[in-house]
A and B are shown apart, each in its own frame.
Chain A
Amino acid sequence: AQKVTQAQTEISVVEKEDVTLDCVYETRDTTYYLFWYKQPPSGELVFLIRRNSFDEQNEISGRYSWNFQKSTSSFNFTITASQVVDSAVYFCALTLYNQGGKLIFGQGTELSVKP
């Protein structure tokens, strides 16, 4: 069975601090996709990144960066110089190649960035 674990339930930082959100996944399949979504208080899940299992290159997008390591089954997300607008719940998710659009989500990490 597949599983996604986000061990950090809540994280609180002060603005401009760097913060890393951890994500560990479990699957025996070799072809899968990993995602990160942001859920602000409005409720809508905002897509941040999609990564396939054959692409272990780290990615940077502005203040956001992602570290994918198959050896440890982790797909961690770092926000550099956090801002108050980054406050939200962040979800890591997994889908298998043969399961179409079925996303398996972690429990989410609530990030609070204080001014």
Chain B
Amino acid sequence: KAGVTQTPRYLIKTRGQQVTLSCSPISGHRSVSWYQQTPGQGLQFLFEYFSETQRNKGNFPGRFSGRQFSNSRSEMNVSTLELGDSALYLCASSLAPGRSEAFFGQGTRLTVV
């Protein structure tokens, strides 16, 4: 069974640009969550999607957005990139929100220059 797949693995963007990250969950999983990991703030929850609906949102500015498609694949978008957005972005999938194990992808390493 394939795990959670995140693309791309590495990305370098310039300040002010926008970026889209993709996450394909484990087959059969309908819940997808996104996390930002930085050395200073650690792992922080961005948002969660289940059946194409955003169920939960973390404390991030509106520049961070996401969506989920009917096949459960999810994308997150960051507009007007700032240097502080440089981070490892991790996606997790689970069968159902919260009450089952969440399996993580290897992440997308975003560097903003």
Report which A residues bind B (CB closer than 8 A): 33, 35, 37, 42-47, 50, 91, 93, 95-97, 99-108
Task: Count chain B residues whose beta carbon lies closer than 8 angstroms to a beta carbon of A.
Answer: 28
Q: Establish whether residues B42 and A100, one from each chain, have CB atoms under 8 Å apart when the complex forms.
A: no
A and B contact pairs by CB, cutoff 8 A, 13 listed: A37-B104, A43-B90, A43-B107, A44-B104, A45-B90, A45-B104, A46-B104, A50-B101, A102-B58, A103-B35, A103-B92, A106-B42, A108-B42
Q: How far is the CA of A35 from the CA of B106 in the complex (A)?
A: 18
Closest to A96 in B: B98
Q: How far is the CA of A42 from the CA of B88 in the complex (A)?
A: 11
Choice from A43, A47, A101 contacting B98 with Cβ under 8 Å: A101
Choice from B44, B92, B109 contacting A45 with Cβ under 8 Å: B92
Choice from B35, B43, B56, B88 contacting A100 with Cβ under 8 Å: B56
Instruction: Judge if B1 is at the interface, Cβ distance under 8 Å.
Output: no
Q: Establish whether residues B31 and A100, one from each chain, have CB atoms under 8 Å apart when the complex forms.
A: yes
Given A42-B106, A95-B98, A101-B50, 15 other A-B residues pairs in contact with their CB atoms under 8 A: A44-B106, A46-B104, A47-B104, A96-B98, A100-B48, A100-B97, A101-B31, A101-B33, A101-B56, A101-B94, A102-B45, A102-B56, A103-B45, A104-B45, A105-B43
Closest to A6 in B: B42
Interface string of B93-107 (1 = CB under 8 A from A): 010011111111111
Report which B residues bind A (CB closer than 8 A): 31, 33, 35, 42-45, 48, 50, 55-56, 58, 88, 90, 92, 94, 97-107, 109
Residues of B within 8 A of A33 (CB): 98-99
Residues of B within 8 A of A42 (CB): 106
Closest to B34 in A: A101
Closest to A95 in B: B98
Q: Establish whether residues B106 and A47, one from each chain, have CB atoms under 8 Å apart when the complex forms.
A: no
Closest to B98 in A: A100
Residues of B within 8 A of A35 (CB): 101-102
Closest to A106 in B: B42
Question: A103-B33, A105-B42 given as contacts; is B102 within 8 A of A47 (CB)?
Answer: yes
Closest to A37 in B: B104
Q: How far is the CA of A74 from the CA of B106 in the complex (A)?
A: 28
